[in-house]
Amino acid sequence: LPLCFIQLLLFFCFVFHCVLCDYLQQYYNLKNDPLGRIKRSGPSFTSKVKDMQIFFGLNVTGTLDSDTLEVMRSPRCGVPDVEEYSHIQGMRWNKNVITYRYILWYTRDLPRSTVDSLIESAFSVWARASSLTFVRSNTHNADIMVEFVTYAHGDLFPFDGPRGTLAHAFGPGSGVGGDTHFDDSEHWTAGEAGFNLFVVAAHEFGHALGLKHSRNPESLMYPNYKAFNPANLLSSEDVANIKALYSPVRGHLNNDKCAADLTFDAVSTLGDATFFFRERYLWIKHNQRDDIKEGPISNFMPKIETSIDAAFWDIFFSWTESIFWTVKGSRVKGKARKLSHFGFPVWVQEVDAAVHIPKTRRTLFFVHDIYWSYNENRKVMDFGYPKYISEGFPGLNSTINAAIHKDGFIYFFVGPQVYKYDYTQKHVVGVEKANSWLGC
């Protein structure tokens, strides 16, 4: 081959390699080695490719096959899949009336009145699904600042020109928290051609309210761009997540243990008692007594001031906001630690449920529609995980809220119901109400 052709081929290979590395660095936290280099054959690169394949539900090969490359080439949101803009991102706005302000720069692709209408409609999507109200403001201290910019624009997260990254938003907080930027190198439209501003804005405002990316392609918070039906923009997952984040009952939770719709965030044994968690509230039922102690979690575990998402075992771990505590005898031992301690991919920011199986010395962790198996003897995740919950537990097709092992069965708490599951025979053997576990 002519030397010039070989040089041109090597140049394109180098550019292609850089683009792939940029993708994994931006969205999956790929790090350079101490000399600033990245090897596509290295363990870190392969691990990040696997993380990305797991997130998008692809075959987990660790190699850049055609399906993986196709996803990487898709236009998408600029917010990482594996971590938030954590140095400026909070969890939620501590109010239900949120202000927004236009717009230092409008796009030239659409009339200003159309842009205003589409942005207002995008906020209305979340208002209809929650207790939130959005008010347009002309002040410089509005919560969410909206603007169209190109390339480097002052926030350390430059855009990349047409296609690629379409927009990004910062989570709730002071300063740039909540601010939402659209790449004006894109062709913005109000219809099916180009990129629909209404759809992209609604996605980004989800981030500005505190929501993370979803693995569910039907979710508005799925990172890659899709043309959604405007009448059904939010999935049931989106609605549930925004309601959970901005529940109107926060702070005055209905603590009626016999309520027909009672649900638990986590359930665990601790000594001779069973602990039931819901938001920041706790019920404790001793196995040999009928009385039930209850109250704010902080009354029993003073070091824990947040809600509990999952818990397991006598010396158990509780998760919230990507951290866990070790608790023994109602005393918190040491400091909170990161969830990555267990070997999860970095994109796993929370666990829905966890349950320890004494016979196998395994702890199962449930995250959305998949689960992991953790070997307590070797302190590592078992090979071949994660797996889909529906494959490992036929008959269970919902997100798991809580789980507990008792008398040889696993009890899965799904909403206000509890499924008694025969782990050996792989089927549901009974269904009961969650409140029955509190004597109702």
Give percent of the chain above pLDDT 90: 31
356: left (phi over 0), alpha (psi -120 to 50) or beta: beta
State whether 278 and 424 are in the same domain: yes
State whether 381 and 302 are in the same domain: yes
Integer Cα distance of 266 and 275 in angstroms: 8
How many CB atoms lie under 10 A from the CB of residue 240?
Answer: 13
| Residue 10: per-residue pLDDT | 42
Regions of the chain short of the pLDDT cut 70: 1-19, 32-43, 83-90, 247-254, 302-303, 305-306, 313-322, 328-331
**Does any domain span residue 358?**
yes
**Does any domain span residue 405?**
yes
Q: Which two tokens stand for residue 33?
A: 């080695």
CATH code: domain of residue 218: 3.40.390.10
| Residue 12: per-residue pLDDT | 42
State whether 356 and 292 are in the same domain: yes
**Does any domain span residue 250?**
no
**Does any domain span residue 388?**
yes
Select from 27, 54, 73 the last residue of a domain: 73
CA 104 distance to own-chain centroid: 31
Select from 245, 277, 310 the last residue of a domain: 245
Select from 73, 101, 116 the last residue of a domain: 73
Q: Which residues are annotated as a binding site for Ca(2+)?
A: 109, 143, 160-161, 177, 179, 183-184, 186, 265, 309, 311, 354
Q: Which two tokens stand for residue 360?
A: 């196998």
Determine contact, residues 84/92, Cβ cutoff 8 Å. Answer: no
State whether 116 and 229 are in the same domain: yes
Predicted structure pTM score: 0.67
Tell me the residue range of the domain where 369 lies: 266-438
CATH code: domain of residue 428: 2.110.10.10
State whether 182 and 311 are in the same domain: no
| Residue 258: per-residue pLDDT | 87
| Residue 286: per-residue pLDDT | 84
**Does any domain span residue 252?**
no
Q: Which residues are annotated as a binding site?
A: 77, 109, 143, 153, 155, 160-161, 168, 177, 179, 181, 183-184, 186, 203, 207, 213, 221, 265, 309, 311, 354
State whether 103 and 183 are in the same domain: yes
State whether 160 and 194 are in the same domain: yes
Determine contact, residues 294/282, Cβ cutoff 8 Å. Answer: yes
Sheet containing strand 281-286, edge to edge, reads: 266-270, 273-278, 281-286, 292-296
How many CB atoms lie under 10 A from the CB of residue 238?
Answer: 24
Structural domain count, the chain: 3
State whether 66 and 94 are in the same domain: no
CATH code: domain of residue 47: 1.10.101.10
For β-strands 133-136 and 97-101, DSSP reports them as parallel
**Does any domain span residue 259?**
no
Determine contact, residues 254/266, Cβ cutoff 8 Å. Answer: no
State whether 65 and 80 are in the same domain: no
State whether 48 and 85 are in the same domain: no
Integer Cα distance of 210 and 242 in angstroms: 9
Q: Tens digits of per-residue pLDDT, 252-295?
A: 456 788 888 888 988 988 777 888 988 878 898 887 777 788 88
Phi, psi of 164 (to 5 degrees): 65, -125
State whether 66 and 156 are in the same domain: no
Q: Which of 420, 421, 430, 415 is nearest to 393 (CA)?
A: 421
Active site residues: 204
State whether 378 and 358 are in the same domain: yes
Q: Tens digits of per-residue pLDDT, 137-159?
A: 887 788 999 999 999 988 888 99
**Does any domain span residue 251?**
no
Cis ω for the linkage preceding 394 (within 30 of 0): no
**Does any domain span residue 279?**
yes
Determine contact, residues 354/348, Cβ cutoff 8 Å. Answer: no
| Residue 66: per-residue pLDDT | 87
